[in-house]
Amino acid sequence: MAQLKSWISASRLRTLPLSISGAIVGSSYAYFKDFFDAPIFILIILTTLSFQILSNLANDYGDGVKGTDNESRIGPKRALQSGAISAKQMRLAVVFNAFISAILAITLILLVFGLDQLYNALIFIVLGGLSIYAAISYTVGKSAYGYKALGDLMVFLFFGLLSVFGTFFLFAQHIDFRLLLPASSVGFLSAAVLNLNNMRDLDSDRKSNKNTFAGYLGPINAKVYHFFLIISAIILMIIFQYIMSFSTLMFITWIAFIPLLLHLRSIYQITNPKAYDPHLKLVALSTFMLSLLFASALILEHFYSA
């Protein structure tokens, strides 16, 4: 039982709602445009969750073997760091989850494209492979991009642009460039969660030679950057709603802006890095809430316009 709890902890369940936010946004827009398909949606969610769990396990392994997860680090103790799971066990779990992720991704691609659309299928196989590689190489290996201040960019690309555009394409099989606005919004909010994590761990990361974007910016400029991410995400979502000429139903998405704005007021006042930790969950769940409200509004828009 204790071992099971350790694996559940290593999977970091609190990160999972954030990981599927982009998929929910892309899927709901596909529903609004009459392209939605339930089996495809289920496989998209399962594949996305598998990628996130893979990333979490790989992150635990990479930071654990590098010694980045140590006693000076703020936040919950990791499985490898605590000794609850060995490095060998975690490595095997990463390999196993990479295999599961690949199977789910290939199944999804075959369901959508079959063997008739080989070109599109190959593109998504490559994207799936890149997603698996990105999930592992964030902290694993000598060239881990999370140690080279590239984490924010990759989170923006994979949690925002690829998640929303890729999801919509799997339903509609074409690109709608208006999605750049909500996709960027989700990407900025996802990057904000990572930035909070990096602001919290500035001192311990510096001691472990882990270079993050927040580390390069320093504590004051990292806060300014954080404000930019949150405010830009809100503005882009509002602009999207305006150019799409949605009804007042879309105003329900603004409910999610309230905790984000209150969050910024708290962030402005923080001086102790430990105080950043609870805000990771707040921003992640606010992003998830935004995606659910966005989806609800689009479903209602579709229903009343039918």
- Average pLDDT on 140-168 reads 90
Residue 93 CA, distance from chain mean position: 21
Instruction: Choose the most confident range, by mean pLDDT, from 26-35, 133-142, 205-214.
Output: 26-35
- Average pLDDT on 246-252 reads 86
- Average pLDDT on 48-52 reads 95
Query: In the chain, how long is the greatest CA-to-CA distance?
Result: 59
In this structure, are residues 19 and 51 in contact, taking their beta carbons and an 8 Å threshold?
Answer: yes
211 forms beta bridges with: 148
* Host H or E run for residue 68: none
Looking at residue 69, its amino acid is D
State both tokens at 108.
């999804």
147, 158, 267: which is closest to 213 by C-alpha?
Answer: 147
CA 41/CA 25 separation, integer angstroms? 11
Q: Is 148 helix (H, G, I), strand (E, B) or coil?
A: strand
- Average pLDDT on 22-26 reads 97
- Express each pLDDT in 112-129 by its tens digit: 998 888 899 999 999 999
Task: Assign 3-class secondary structure to 89-128.
Answer: HHHHHHHHHHHHHHHHHHHHHHHHHCCCCHHHHHHHHHHH
Task: Assign 3-class secondary structure to 17-64.
Answer: HHHCHHHHHHHHHHHHCCCCCHHHHHHHHHHHHHHHHHHHHHHHHHHH
Looking at residue 217, its amino acid is L
In this structure, are residues 19 and 48 in contact, taking their beta carbons and an 8 Å threshold?
Answer: yes
- Express each pLDDT in 186-216 by its tens digit: 999 999 999 999 999 888 888 878 889 999 9
Residue 61 pLDDT: 80
Residue 70 pLDDT: 60
CA 240/CA 108 separation, integer angstroms? 29
Helices (H) and strands (E) in the chain, counts: 14, 0
- Express each pLDDT in 58-105 by its tens digit: 888 877 776 666 666 666 666 666 667 788 888 898 999 999 999 999
Looking at residue 1, its amino acid is M
What letter does residue 1 receive in the DSSP assignment? -
Checking 204-209 for CB contacts under 8 A at 24+ apart, the result is 204/68, 204/70, 204/72, 204/73, 204/74, 205/68, 207/72, 208/66, 208/67, 208/68, 208/70, 209/147
CA 182/CA 294 separation, integer angstroms? 10
CA 230/CA 220 separation, integer angstroms? 16
